[in-house]
Amino acid sequence: MMEIKVPELAESITEGTVASWLKQPGDQVEKGEAIVELETDKVNIEVPSDEAGVLTEVMAAEGDTVRVGETIAIITAGGEAAKPTETTPTPKATEAPTEAPAAQEPKKEQPAAVAATEATTLADRPIASPAARKLAREKGIDLSQVATQDPLGRIRVQDVATFEVAPREQAKPQPATPAPQPAAPAAPGKPEERIKMSRRRKTIANRLVEVQQTAAMLTTFNEIDMSAVMSLRKRRQEKFVKDNEVKLGFMSFFTKAAVAALKKMPYLNAEIQGDEIVLKKFYDIGIAVSAPDGLVVPVVRDADKKNFGEIEKDIINLAVKARDNKLGLSDLTGGTFTITNGGTFGSLMSTPILNGPQVAILGMHAINLRPIAIDAERMENRPMMYVALSYDHRIVDGKEAVTFLKHIKDLLEDPESLIFEA
């Protein structure tokens, strides 16, 4: 008999959600074959079996939250697949059975009182995001005392932060105020649909709110005449494809320009840790891409050491992995600066939100023909793009931010200069 346990997921990730069982009780399992898919805050992970055998028991239902090291299934080695007595996954928090069948005697026995106590503890355990649990542990806060306004009852980072500011007021019972309930329909008979947020969608939501609450975020804008880049791409595209087997896109230009600008303005390639500023001496550039469960930011490693072709290949590979939900934790961690391209969806202008703990993010937008004054007497229609730089004003001053964005503008309006800059 072999226990299938939740594996180590990643640094700072201690729990996940059972996304789907790939095998059912009674199914034959080969060595190395995946039996369950877990959803974490960042990626989905398939858990394989280390031995061949039969899946005889599952201990968590789809949608349950499970912790690292927790046993979630039993594989019995040898034999043939047999019909399970129950095909429905056993919920984690259930009452202890009054009588254990004799055939299952080898399984760990617990006194009824202990089993009942553990079941009650699991049932009463507050539902909270990993970030909220971490903050509560750091501050010594009992999550059962924290109130939340979330309709699903999930405790968020901001709930813990609010409790920390005024714990006594939060902890006092409020008999006159009923517990938050889901909003009622606007009018009888009006159609609506309720969809439970995925773990990743909730994590994205929590982190975006957390960044806005903790960073002094400010955005500066500029516009870039894309004529030179578009002309260069047109002239060099055929040879580029022949040499690199990928097309020359816009992202490699912006990635190279961002690296060059970061070298001149190092405080934008940094993060705040306590009362220290950590300046990163490497350039791992996050590229925001759309995935089935929301926006993710895989990372192009050592972008300063790669040519245009290598950057384009990395971006395409990461985008395909994101679309197929195959991104690994190593693809998503450790970025120093982020680029997001809302222009892919037609956005003319937007204010990107920081990808914490990074202190800056560059937003690209749609390219549109606009009349531009060439001099005092001439106007021309030029392909123009608005660009936005959001930054943490705690360590980045306005002068640095404006200079950074202006440097990117200058490089892209003279793209050959990127060969010498980055």
Angle between helices 251-264 and 308-323 (to 10 degrees): 110
Of 256, 175, 214, 233, whose CA–CA distance to 354 is shortest? 214
Determine how β-strand 360-364 pairs with β-strand 337-341: parallel
In whole angstroms, give the CA distance from residue 224 to residue 411.
10
Q: Which amino acid is at 54?
A: V
In whole angstroms, give the CA distance from residue 377 to residue 170.
66
Determine how β-strand 15-21 pairs with β-strand 65-67: antiparallel
DSSP string computed for 197-217: PPHHHHHHHHHHHHHHHHS-E
In whole angstroms, give the CA distance from residue 146 to residue 159.
7
In whole angstroms, give the CA distance from residue 255 to residue 257.
5
Whether 295 contacts 286, CB under 8 Å: no
Return the H-helix or E-strand segment holding 17.
strand 15-21
Which sequence positions are flagged as catalytic?
393, 397
- Any idea which residue has 């895989």 for tokens? 298
80 Cβ partners below 8 Å, 6+ apart?
Answer: 28, 54
Degrees, nearest 5: CA angle 415-418-422:
160
At 131, phi and psi to the nearest 5?
-65, -40
- Any idea which residue has 């609010």 for tokens? 162
Helices (H), 300-397: 308-323, 329-332
- Any idea which residue has 């990117």 for tokens? 408
